[in-house]
């Protein structure tokens, strides 16, 4: 294989083409022509994928698009990508035996995910910066000065404007998602049983990743335009398909229900803070009577609690998004590193050198 086009690359610049442009490798159910050892690895991966997806269907639909649910979704993606890396190790395919199409798939996935994860990090940072304005509001509300109340009103107004503004980086997610969806084809791999297992597993990971990223893009953009429906692209024959359909239907329905109520965001914790701000807004703007003082104190207390919950949720989500970025980047770097060393280390596989015999 000619590795030269990969050795110097840090960001693949390739013409637009079908992502999995080489067809469907599993026309027979359950990959029946695969050796038993490889079929066992595939079954294990796809069973685990189903279990990870199932966790995204909460008992209470109101948990969907809470920051804790989004954290769980991103952790699931990280686990799925670790599963892919582990599968590559278990398959023990020497990098010198990798088809260029497999390398293209892996690198193409990784660079798109790095781009979209950077956009998510940008939005989380922007929302976290808003917490500083809320802290400023709460600090001013500790005073009984009408002048401080007016300043608190001004800061609260700035916060409400900020969270309703658009993030240009999030707007770039849709073209990336579209590119992935338009090319969602099951790969056809000839003369390589291991390649068939790898490509089918990567297909499952890519479907889950593309969909969950679309949910994040919809949540962060405040628009259902970024929300994907992949039902028609996922063959029902796949063992994790029904679980995926269920996750997608449940999550998409809930997101659309929230937006149908005219909410500016589907992020639960952000809505909670905004609702508290709406109660305080007229009291700060117009003043309040002694009879309203107790209500005012309760509103300030509610704002403090919800603001702290939002800040903690954003911090936790930011950490798992960063972890996902690192997993994608390390996998990409490991492949490129192994490509450089491929000729010198013929048994090199992604993330591991091995002298063991290949699984047949």
Size of the chain, expressed as the number of residues it contains: 360
Specify if 191 maps to a domain. Answer: yes
Question: Across residues 326-343, what is the average pLDDT?
Answer: 79
Could you give the 3-state DSSP secondary structure of residue 349? strand
- Please provide the DSSP assignment of 20-34 as one string: TTT--S--SGGGTTS
How many structural domains are present in the chain? 1
CA distance 140 to 280: 13
Specify if 354 maps to a domain. Answer: no
Specify if 215 maps to a domain. Answer: yes
Specify if 360 maps to a domain. Answer: no
pLDDT tens digits, residue range 180-207? 787 676 556 677 788 889 889 989 999 9
Specify if 335 maps to a domain. Answer: yes
Specify if 200 maps to a domain. Answer: yes
Please state, as a whole number, how many other Cβ atoms lie within 10 Å of the Cβ of residue 223. 16
Please state the three-class secondary structure of 61-127 as a single string.
Answer: HHHCCCHHHHHHHHHHHHHHHHHHHHHHHHHCCCHHHCCHHHHHHHHHHHHHHHHHHHHHHHHHHHH
pLDDT tens digits, residue range 229-261? 999 889 999 999 999 999 999 999 999 998 898
Specify if 17 maps to a domain. Answer: no
Specify if 236 maps to a domain. Answer: yes
pTM of the model: 0.83
Backbone Cα Rg of the chain: 24
Of residues 30 and 165, more confidence is placed in 165
Domain encompassing residue 60? 36-339
């Amino acid at each position: 294989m000619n590795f030269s086009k990969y050795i110097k690359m840090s960001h693949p610049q390739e013409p637009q083409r079908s992502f999995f442009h080489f067809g469907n490798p599993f026309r027979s159910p359950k990959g029946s022509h695969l050796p038993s050892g490889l079929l066992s690895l595939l079954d294990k991966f796809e069973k685990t994928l189903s279990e990870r997806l199932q966790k995204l269907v909460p008992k209470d639909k109101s948990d969907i698009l809470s920051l804790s649910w989004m954290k769980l979704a991103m952790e699931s993606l990280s686990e799925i990508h670790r599963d892919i890396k582990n599968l590559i190790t278990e398959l023990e395919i020497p990098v010198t035996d990798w088809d260029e199409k497999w390398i293209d798939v892996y690198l193409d996935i990784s660079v798109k995910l790095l781009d979209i994860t950077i956009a998510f990090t940008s939005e989380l940072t922007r929302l976290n910066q808003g917490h500083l304005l809320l802290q400023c509001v709460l600090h001013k509300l500790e005073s009984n000065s009408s002048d401080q109340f007016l300043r608190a009103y001004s800061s609260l107004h700035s916060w409400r404007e900020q969270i309703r503004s658009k993030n240009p980086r999030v707007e770039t997610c849709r073209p990336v998602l579209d590119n992935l969806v338009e090319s969602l084809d099951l790969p056809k791999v000839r003369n390589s049983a291991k390649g068939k297992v790898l490509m089918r597993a990567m297909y499952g990971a890519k479907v889950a990743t593309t969909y969950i990223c679309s949910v994040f893009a919809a949540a962060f953009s405040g628009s259902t335009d970024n929300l994907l429906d992949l039902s028609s692209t996922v063959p029902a024959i796949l063992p994790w398909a029904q679980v995926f359909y269920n996750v997608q239907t449940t999550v998409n329905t809930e997101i659309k229900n929230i937006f149908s109520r005219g909410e500016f965001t589907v992020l639960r914790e952000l809505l909670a803070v905004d609702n508290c701000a709406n109660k305080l807004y007229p009291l700060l703007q117009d003043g309040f009577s002694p009879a309203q003082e107790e209500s005012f104190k309760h509103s300030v207390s509610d704002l403090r609690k919800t603001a702290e919950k939002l800040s903690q949720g954003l911090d936790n989500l930011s950490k798992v998004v960063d972890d996902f970025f690192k997993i994608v980047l390390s996998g990409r770097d490991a492949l490129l590193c192994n490509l450089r060393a491929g000729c010198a280390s013929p048994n090199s596989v992604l993330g591991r050198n091995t002298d063991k015999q290949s699984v047949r």
